[in-house]
Amino acid sequence: MKSEGSMAALTRRQYPEEFKQEAVRLVRDSARPVAQVARDLGISESLLYRWRTQHRQAEAQGTTRAGQRTEAEELTHLKRELVRVTQERDFLKRAAAFFARESQ
């Protein structure tokens, strides 16, 4: 079993968007297979396949991967805000009903 100290040392590598775009471009424009490009870049095949899929989806929607990420973050923020506002509304409804009963 791994100790907690070694778990903290493991971090997920993050790649700049430019690197991802260039990697996808290499796959698209070269005759080399995805596996070869991934080995050359020192990344896993599955990661490169995922980037390529995300790039294709973004192109199909007429946006970029960064644009999709921004939209997803905004959607997440708005969903959280909706939950908060809904809870506030429900609390105020209950408070109004409570004070209406107390004033009778």
| pLDDT tens profile 64-101 | 777 888 888 999 999 999 999 999 999 999 999 999 98
Tell me the three-class secondary structure of the chain, residue by residue.
CCCHHHHHHCCCCCCCHHHHHHHHHHHHHCCCCHHHHHHHHCCCHHHHHHHHHHHHHHHHCCCCHHHHHHHHHHHHHHHHHHHHHHHHHHHHHHHHHHHHHHCC
| pLDDT tens profile 7-38 | 556 788 889 889 998 999 999 999 899 999 99
pTM for this model (two decimals): 0.56
